[in-house]
Structure 1
């Protein structure tokens, strides 16, 4: 009953918002690309309703909680490769730089590296970027319908219960490629499905297993980052060394990422088996065997993409499109660039 009441209220709210003469865009997905796109559209005077199937923002910038501890479960930091993205990061009030002590998997000391990260956790950035939007979490969009006979609000979206959530001037999908395709297909507009399939055939997505460990603190475990060549591991990040990440108890929180090859081979493995293998591989790197206080295992099914040479998908006639790191370039900078370029197109159109 409570869910139905909330859905009824949401539907009534969208009807009220649609009565206001102002362009109204639905953004599906509250990861980095969706959050940044939302910010750019709102700054241009466009109303945005943001839908997210999870409980909060962030996508692959999400964090997790273990007892009294927190860890960045997805992308651990930002690594800008262009002056434009670095400049943007430097201008954000919740972004700081993190200077790290680095070793490789053999224990050899490597040059220190500096990364950008959000404080107090990675999802803090996306939460701020969506301010001003109507945010609907825990809402899974199942269908997009286009009515070519309407002049305004010609796109309608429905949740997985078939409930109409509103009518919009445009709809933009910022989900991973494997999730964006089926949604574009629900429009029953052949050219949109063709545009996606032509791109999707070139995309390779890879899974990533992540293990979070809370360890009893030890002064003998000194590096912040362990990386290099390893048959199982990609990198190990000491999350508790990051700015504003201490739990007040002095414990160490590590995030262990399996490499892409191992993750793909074990994509459908039992999480408990994955936990044992990742934990064992990590503990072998340490000079001591610390007490493990808490653990969490997570699989990112679409963690990394081999991006295609496209910046975004946009159909100017229906005002339906998509953006994300699977289009512009892989990782967070690609998501940022794709959202920026699509926002320019949408703003000029509306």
Structure 2
């Protein structure tokens, strides 16, 4: 049957990219996202009145296709960073591409042609000859679509891929790793010699400054921040503290950052978040999953390529498949 009415579960980069491709081709697309907004692991948060990145801070494309696509996006800016290691030694310059003013603005723009339902958790899919029915977390059947594509991390995709036994087996073969992130607003500068610190450290993998000048005065009760830093814990430490309370994690990460900068941090805003499925270690060699019988598929960064670029490549490969078959 023609796939005119397609549902996408998840509004991260894979879901937003797929939605954009399908809506541009004239398909009716509905997105179901369990969070309050788009972005997935490109999500933003607010410190007081100030939005800032909470997930992946930028892109470092490896393929020409992803690089060229990013440069053609209206909200992308190219930056050359001059990082230092955690001991203050300079490292080689790094060129990155980031979304202005923060990463989730891109996914919000890419989903503009679709119907976006946020705060909706889909718990199961039921496939029949009439299409695919979606069931929410309360067990209610809320909608039926010609086809459904799951773009969530592999562990969250498992119950949704139940209509196709092989898909469940493949998703279960993917390992995931967590990452703890703490975003901190400082009343005064911390004295770091670079806005990008990285390298070997027992707790942190990198520290990124998203703001180094005071914000203009506002009429709110919150103080403007002199600096906003995004601290990312390394893989081993994040795994060891996977189930630790977020407040305890934030304290330990801030203590480490304070020792690195040799400054007492004057904190006026704080947010910690555990990205439970931050990275995937996948044995899969395909770019996506698709069933011509159940009209259920999946794409994302847990296929052949990982990271944001992997999510984008996977979504485009599946879009090519769907649009070619439905032409």
Normalized against structure 1, the TM-score is what?
0.87
Considering only aligned residues, what root-mean-square deviation do their CA atoms show, in Å?
1.7
- Mean alpha-carbon deviation: is it higher for 259-268 or for 307-316? 307-316
* 8 A contact 1:316–1:349 mirrored in 2: no
Q: Which residue of 2 aligns with 1:6?
A: none
Q: Which residue of 2 aligns with 1:215?
A: 186
Deviation of the 1:199 alpha carbon: 4.6
| Residue number among 195, 205, 229 corresponding to 1:224 in the alignment | 195
Structure 2: give runs of 5+ residues left out of the alignment: 217-223
SS in 2 for 1:239: strand
- Mean alpha-carbon deviation: is it higher for 122-131 or for 91-100? 91-100
* 8 A contact 2:35–2:119 mirrored in 1: yes
Distance 1:198 1:250, change over 3 A: closer
Distance 1:226 1:240, change over 3 A: same
In the TM superposition, 1:25-44 aligns within 5 A as 25-44=6-25
- Mean alpha-carbon deviation: is it higher for 120-129 or for 270-279? 270-279
Distance 1:246 1:323, change over 3 A: farther
Task: Kindly provide the CA deviation profile for residues 184-228 of structure 1, in whole angstroms up to 9, marking residues without a partner as x.
Answer: 11x3xxxx2223313532x22000001111112338334111001
* 8 A contact 1:239–1:254 mirrored in 2: yes
| Residue number among 46, 61, 65 corresponding to 1:65 in the alignment | 46
Deviation of the 1:283 alpha carbon: 0.8
In the TM superposition, 1:1-150 aligns within 5 A as 23-148=4-129, 150=130
Q: Which residue of 2 aligns with 1:264?
A: 239
SS in 2 for 1:121: coil
* Aligned-partner Cα distance in 1 for 2:317–2:325: 13
* 8 A contact 1:103–1:109 mirrored in 2: yes
| Residue number among 323, 330, 336 corresponding to 2:299 in the alignment | 323
| Residue number among 149, 165, 177 corresponding to 1:193 in the alignment | 165
Corresponding position: 1:164 with 2:141? yes
* Aligned-partner Cα distance in 1 for 2:215–2:22: 36
Deviation of the 1:38 alpha carbon: 0.2
* 8 A contact 1:181–1:196 mirrored in 2: yes
SS in 2 for 1:110: coil
Deviation of the 1:22 alpha carbon: 7.3
* Aligned-partner Cα distance in 1 for 2:233–2:91: 20
SS in 1 for 2:126: strand
Task: Kindly provide the CA deviation profile for residues 219-274 of structure 1, in whole angstroms up to 9, marking residues without a partner as x.
Answer: 83341110011111111010115xxx973345100000000111011100121211
* Aligned-partner Cα distance in 1 for 2:16–2:281: 22
Answer 1 or 2: which has greater helix percent.
1
Deviation of the 1:278 alpha carbon: 0.3
* Aligned-partner Cα distance in 2 for 1:209–1:68: 23
SS in 1 for 2:82: strand
* 8 A contact 1:328–1:335 mirrored in 2: no
Deviation of the 1:287 alpha carbon: 4.1
* Aligned-partner Cα distance in 2 for 1:167–1:100: 47
* Aligned-partner Cα distance in 1 for 2:71–2:232: 27
Corresponding position: 1:255 with 2:227? no
| Residue number among 314, 317, 323 corresponding to 1:347 in the alignment | 323
SS in 1 for 2:93: strand
Task: Kindly provide the CA deviation profile for residues 82-132 of structure 1, in whole angstroms up to 9, marking residues without a partner as x.
Answer: 111100000000111122231001110112212111111100000000111
> How many residues get paired?
317
* Aligned-partner Cα distance in 2 for 1:284–1:267: 23
